[in-house]
Chains A and B, each alone.
Chain A
C-alpha cells in the first residue's frame, strides 16, 4: 500500500517535533549534546529554554517554529527541517541566536561557553547573506530508510524558491563525522565547498568531529 507523504509549514502545534529536531540534529546520531558539553545545560533544561525561544517567533535562524517544514506520513508526524534566507532581516543568523542566548540562557551557561569558545570558533563557518540555509533536519527513527530526509530537503528548497524566485544557492553545513547525512546531501546534488578543521584534540570533548564541512547546491533543477 502506498504511503501518503505530506508537508506543511510548522505552527505552534508542531512545537514538540521542532524541539526534538533541534536536539537530535545537534546530537547527529551521537551521544554528544553540544548545549551540555559547551553550555552545561541538561537536555531537559535546554528543552524548557528552547520552548520559550521558539514561542518568540524570531525569524532568520534555526530557533524559529515558522521556518520549519514538517513531513507527515499517513497523517503521522515523521520529521522536520529548518530553512531560512541568511541575513534577510537586520542581523546574521548567528547574531540573532546570540541575542536569544543572552536573553534566555542562564548567565552561568554563557560563562561556561566562553571557556571553550576558541575551540568552537575554529570550526565556525560563516553563512553567506542571500543564501538559502538548510539546518536542523531530523526524521523520527520509525520513518527512516525511506528517503524522507532527502524528500524534505528538496521540498523545503522548492517552497523557498517558489516564495523567493531570486534565490540562487542553498548552503548546508555538517560535521564531517556525520557521513550518513553527507551521503544524503550528495545524492541530492550538494557538493563540498569548504571544510574547517580543529587540530586540538580537546574539541572531541565538546563535539563529535574535528572538522565541519560546508556544502552547496544551485536552486535550479529541483524536480
Chain B
C-alpha cells in the first residue's frame, strides 16, 4: 500500500470522525488546521485508524505525531512489515 493510498483512506476516516464531508487532509495537515480535531475526537480517530488498518500504535508513536504525514509514515511501516 502506498503513502497516497493510506492518506486517502485516512481522509475518509477523518471525514467520518470529524463529521465534515468536505474535509481534505494533506500530509502537512495538523490539529491546528482542523477545527473539529480536539482531544476527544483525537482519541476516536486513533481508535478508528487502528481498526481500519488492523494495527496498534505505541504510545510514543502517537505522541510523536506532528502532522498527518507522521501518522501515514508509521502506518506505512507497520502495514508493509506485517
Contacts and interface: CB of A to CB of B under 8 A. Distances in A.
Interface of A: 56, 58, 89-92, 94-103, 105, 107, 110, 113-114, 117, 121, 124
Main secondary structure of the interface of A (DSSP, over half): helix
A117 B38 CA distance: 10
Given A98-B39, A103-B62, A113-B40, 18 more contacts: A56-B59, A89-B63, A90-B63, A90-B66, A91-B65, A92-B31, A94-B39, A95-B31, A95-B42, A99-B46, A101-B43, A102-B42, A102-B62, A110-B43, A110-B47, A114-B40, A114-B44, A124-B38
A92 B65 CA distance: 11
B64 interface: yes
Nearest to B66: A90
Interface of B: 31, 38-40, 42-44, 46-47, 59, 62-66
A98 B42 contact: yes
| Smallest CB-CB A-B distances: 5 pairs | A98-B39, A102-B43, A98-B42, A94-B39, A99-B62
B66 A102 contact: no
12 contacts: A56-B59, A58-B59, A89-B63, A90-B63, A90-B65, A94-B38, A95-B31, A98-B39, A98-B40, A101-B43, A114-B44, A117-B40
A98 B38 contact: yes
Contacts, number: 54
Contacts of A89: 63
A124 B59 CA distance: 25
B40 A110 contact: yes
Contacts of A102: 42-43, 46-47, 62
B47 A121 contact: no
Nearest to B38: A94
Contacts of A117: 40
A56 B57 CA distance: 16
A102 to B, nearest CB: 4
A105 B64 CA distance: 20
A100 B59 CA distance: 8
A89 B46 CA distance: 19
